[in-house]
Structure 1
Amino acid sequence: MHTMWKGSISFGLVNIPIKLHAATEDKDVKFRSLHNECHTPIKYEKICPTCEKEIEVKDIVKGYEVTKGKFVIVEDDELKELKEAVEEKAVEIIDFIKLNEIDPIYFNRSYYMSPDGGNKAYGLLRKALTESEKVGIAKIIIRSKEQLAVIRVYKDTLLMEIIHFPDEVRNVSDVPNVPAADNVTKKEIDTAILLIDQLTTTFDPDKYKDEYRTKVIELIEAKQTGKDLVTVDVKKPAAQMTDLMAALQASIDRTKPKVKRPVKAKKPAAKASGATKTK
């Protein structure tokens, strides 16, 4: 597993040398842009529209646009000096809190933390976090950006969750067209809760698959091997229901577990009568 950061985490006087490894990866199928005539990959050149010529990397500087068309030029050396002034490879846990105090909207990216020596200190922090049911809050600089981080235990491994700073989360009051009141009836609420109860289960991450990505990979493999492509039956979209109650009831009927009806026992066939009785 690739190491993308080396340093140490400390809490109090305990110092833990660690390495960070990306805990997740992007599984999107990536396509190259090709020229339609010869199928050659397209080059993307950096062209200055004023000078009308291609620019090399050494001729590019960083600029921050303060107003339309006006930029403040910032040199790489200036940014490097600022980075060195605040960057420390020793990251201190500054607070301990309960994990459920953090809304999921703040979570951004996860990194596994492996010990780089100091196994006992690593185990100490892991055990302390587990028994206290707390997580640590720390700051760390990754890729020239200061990050706020949560340090927690995940399956016997210390995990660092990079979280957004509060000013990076947009104000929810700016969301348009949110109704001010719940204009629903008691019956509709009870029916909706019934539907939720019927669909409630234990979270099993292996249950959920990226079906679109799977189909794209199958398409690529079929084209690569020259096999005939299989036509996929596309489900027709369900008819839109304007009646909220009708939609809820239809959902409940669709998700309701099927009850097997007992098979009725067949009545024994009447025996054929024998010879007629004589008086």
Structure 2
Amino acid sequence: MHTIWKGTISFGLVNIPIKLHSATENKDIKLKNLHKECHSPVKYEKVCPVCEKDIAQEDMVKGYEYTKNKFVVLEQEDLEALKEENEEKAVDIIEFVKLEEIDPIYFDRSYYLSPNDGGTKAYALLRNALEETGKIGLAKITIRSKQHLAVVRIYHHTLIMETIYFPDEVRDFKEVPNVPEEPSIVEKELETAKLLIDQLTATFEPEKYHDDYRTALLALIEEKKQGEAVTTAKEPARKDNVTDLMQALEKSLSKSKTKKKKSTAKKSKTTKKSTSQKAKAN
């Protein structure tokens, strides 16, 4: 299992060296956008609309848009300094709480925790202590320059860490539109609904649930592949220096013609104006 982060779990004076592993994976089927005419993958390039040219990574800086089209520019040095200041490699447990006190709306992503070198005994100690007290650890951790709240709990004899949203990241339920207050409900309708719930009640067995759409899409792709409904993307033609030079010359020539037309029109206008003034003087 791939390690994505190394650090420690700390609570009180106890420090446990650990590794972080992603506990989930996104199995969405990624489809590329192709040009309908030639089936070549469509490129998304970074272009400056004002300078009308492609922009390389080294020519970009970060900016925060605080109002429409107004930006605060942040240099990479500023961001690196903040990162170093806040990115302590620790899952810092600040409190112990009960799992049922946290609503599922707060949960974000899950990570398995494994002991790093020399951390096996302390890892087992924390796991057993959590199991016997029925508590979970509430912690702070910084991953990829973003600070998270997190909980540390037991999952099948393994410590797992789940990042959770900060309270101001969870939208207020009062903003949800058209939620009924207490409409009058017929008792018979309520009893029927409860009976239906009882009939559909089961023990949660995750292995019996599958992504039907993904299965059907994979079957469709395989069917088309077997039927040879496939295409090979064409390699884009490489521009040589002669082509580039010709394009540059043609572009320069076009600009020169435009500029000459404007100059001629301006000169003609000035001449007419001068002739008109002389006629009036006579």
For structure 1, which segment, 33-42 or 126-135, has the greater mean C-alpha deviation from structure 2 after superposition?
A: 33-42
1:83 maps to a residue whose letter is K
Aligned position for 1:120: 121
Aligned position for 2:223: 222
For structure 1, which segment, 168-177 or 180-189, has the greater mean C-alpha deviation from structure 2 after superposition?
A: 180-189
Instruction: Output the CA distance in 2 between the equivalents of 1:178 and 1:206.
Output: 34
The offset of 1:34, in angstroms, is: 1.3
Aligned position for 1:96: 96
The offset of 1:13, in angstroms, is: 1.7
The offset of 1:183, in angstroms, is: 2.2
Aligned position for 2:161: 160
SS across alignment from 1:21: strand
Aligned position for 1:172: 173
Instruction: Output the CA distance in 1 between the equivalents of 2:3 and 2:44.
Output: 30
Is 2:56 the counterpart of 1:65? Answer: no
The offset of 1:9, in angstroms, is: 0.3
2:143 maps to a residue whose letter is I
Aligned position for 2:135: 134
Aligned position for 1:24: 24
2:114 maps to a residue whose letter is S
Structure 1 segment 161-240 matched on structure 2, within 5 A = 161-226=162-227
SS across alignment from 1:7: strand
List structure 1 segments (4+ residues) > 3 angstroms apart after TM superposition: none
Is 2:144 the counterpart of 1:143? Answer: yes
2:23 maps to a residue whose letter is A
Instruction: Output the CA distance in 2 between the equivalents of 1:129 and 1:190.
Output: 41
Instruction: Output the CA distance in 1 between the equivalents of 2:8 and 2:106.
Output: 24
Aligned position for 1:234: none
For structure 1, which segment, 185-194 or 105-114, has the greater mean C-alpha deviation from structure 2 after superposition?
A: 185-194
2:202 maps to a residue whose letter is T
2:81 maps to a residue whose letter is E
Instruction: Output the CA distance in 1 between the equivalents of 2:183 and 2:89.
Output: 50
Instruction: Output the CA distance in 1 between the equivalents of 2:58 and 2:184.
Output: 61
2:21 maps to a residue whose letter is H
Instruction: Output the CA distance in 2 between the equivalents of 1:133 and 1:53.
Output: 60
The offset of 1:103, in angstroms, is: 0.3
Consecutive unaligned residues in structure 2, runs of 5 or more: 230-282
Instruction: Output the CA distance in 2 between the equivalents of 1:145 and 1:77.
Output: 17
Instruction: Output the CA distance in 2 between the equivalents of 1:217 and 1:138.
Output: 40
Q: Contact 2:150/2:162 (CA < 8 Å) preserved in 1?
A: yes
CA deviations 1:73-92 (Å, max 9, x no partner) are: 01111011011112211232
1:40 maps to a residue whose letter is S
Q: Contact 2:93/2:139 (CA < 8 Å) preserved in 1?
A: yes
1:81 maps to a residue whose letter is A
Instruction: Output the CA distance in 1 between the equivalents of 2:183 and 2:28.
Output: 38
Aligned position for 2:244: none
Instruction: Output the CA distance in 2 between the equivalents of 1:52 and 1:14.
Output: 57
CA RMSD between the two structures: 1.2
1:116 maps to a residue whose letter is N
Aligned position for 2:44: 44
SS across alignment from 1:201: coil
Instruction: Output the CA distance in 2 between the equivalents of 1:221 and 1:187.
Output: 50
SS across alignment from 1:44: coil
The offset of 1:227, in angstroms, is: 8.1
Instruction: Output the CA distance in 2 between the equivalents of 1:38 and 1:178.
Output: 50
What fraction of aligned residue pairs are identical, expressed as a percent? 64
Aligned position for 1:273: none
Q: How many residues align?
A: 228
Q: Tell me the TM-score normalized by structure 1.
A: 0.80
The offset of 1:142, in angstroms, is: 0.4
1:3 maps to a residue whose letter is T
Q: Tell me the TM-score normalized by structure 2.
A: 0.79
Q: Contact 2:87/2:143 (CA < 8 Å) preserved in 1?
A: no
Instruction: Output the CA distance in 2 between the equivalents of 1:214 and 1:48.
Output: 41
Instruction: Output the CA distance in 1 between the equivalents of 2:90 and 2:217.
Output: 44
